[in-house]
Amino acid sequence: MKSLIKKIFLKNHPREIQELLDKSRLPDHVAIIMDGNGRWAQEKRLPRALGHRAGMESLRSAVKLCAKLGIKILTVYAFSTENWKRPQEEINILMGLLYEYIQKELDELHSEQVQVRAIGRTEELPTPALREINRAQELTAGNKKLILNIALNYGGRTEIVDAVRRIASLAAEGKINPEEITEDLFQKHLYTGDLPNPDLLIRPAGELRISNYLLWQIAYTEFYSTSVYWPDFREEEFMKALLAYQHRQRRFGGLM
């Protein structure tokens, strides 16, 4: 079995990978840091904008695979609070692609019963992008097959600060006592408060850092890193990550 898995990881055999997947042991919630668009473009001597556009195709592939396999939640890091430090031209491109993605994909997402959500300080996004995000959330709010969380103007630290502010306001209003603040109560005030924590976090492009992403939620999440850039992270690469996840022993601090 191990030799077969090793062979599959060395070469691209999507059919064999899918056959090895245990459909009863798939993660309920997958989070992805969509990294490497710029480096992908640079290595191909292309404009960074084309790297981001190719990354959009990988997002489309990931959503389709999650829906096909029955994965319930997909959370993707699309734009961080730190990304505002990038050149204004690149920010405009990213916001334009977000607008374009929703414009092109919304009807299909809705027909496939995908519920679109945005997490982060979305009120600070440019008006056209925010308008499309709100339209997508309203249209798909009742869909049940897959939740697609798009992290926009998102930072793990700002999420924790926002949760603290909400809880502090409740305490100041006398609605809760400080002694009543527990981990469960705190988690309910996060952007993902009504969702289970991610089972699997995927980071393409060879990086081994969290980059201020879902800091509270990933305490016991399995981490998968690959040198493959996000624009090349299509169905077969996603399935490799799922297969690797299925060969982990999740202890949550205890013993098997």
User: Residue 243 in contact with residue 21, Cβ under 8 Å?
Assistant: yes
pTM for the full predicted model:
0.92
Does residue 8 lie in a domain region?
no
pLDDT for the residue numbered 19: 81
Q: Note whether residue 177 is domain-resident.
A: no
Q: What is the pLDDT, as a whole number, of residue 252?
A: 67
**Active-site option among 12, 22, 83, 232:** 83
Question: Could you give the number of structural domains in the chain?
Answer: 1
| Per-residue pLDDT reduced to its tens digit, 9-35 | 545 566 677 788 999 999 999 999 999
> Between 71 and 2, whose confidence is greater?
71
Is 12 a member of any domain? no
Is 150 domain-assigned?
yes
Please say if 177 is a catalytic residue. Answer: no
Tell whether 203 is covered by a domain: yes
In a domain, 75, yes or no: yes
Average pLDDT for 173-185: 96
CATH number of the domain to which 224 belongs? 3.40.1180.10
CB neighbour list of residue 164: distance below 8 Å, 6 or more residues apart: none
Residue 66 placed within a domain = yes
Q: Which helix (H) or strand (E) holds 153?
A: strand 146-154
Per the structure, the complete domain to which residue 130 belongs is given by: 25-155+198-246
Residue carrying the six token digits 């096909």:
68
Position 5 scores a pLDDT of 45
Which two structure tokens, joined as six digits, stand for 107? 């009807």
pLDDT tens column, 141-156 = 999 999 999 999 999 9
> Cα–Cα distance between 155 and 147 in angstroms, integer?
20
Percent of the chain residues past pLDDT 90, beyond the cut = 88
Give the dihedral of Cα atoms 143, 235, 97, 54; nearest 10 deg: -170
pLDDT at 71: 98
Catalytic residue among 22, 28, 35, 194: 35
* Residue 35 a catalytic site member: yes
Residue 175 lies in a domain: no
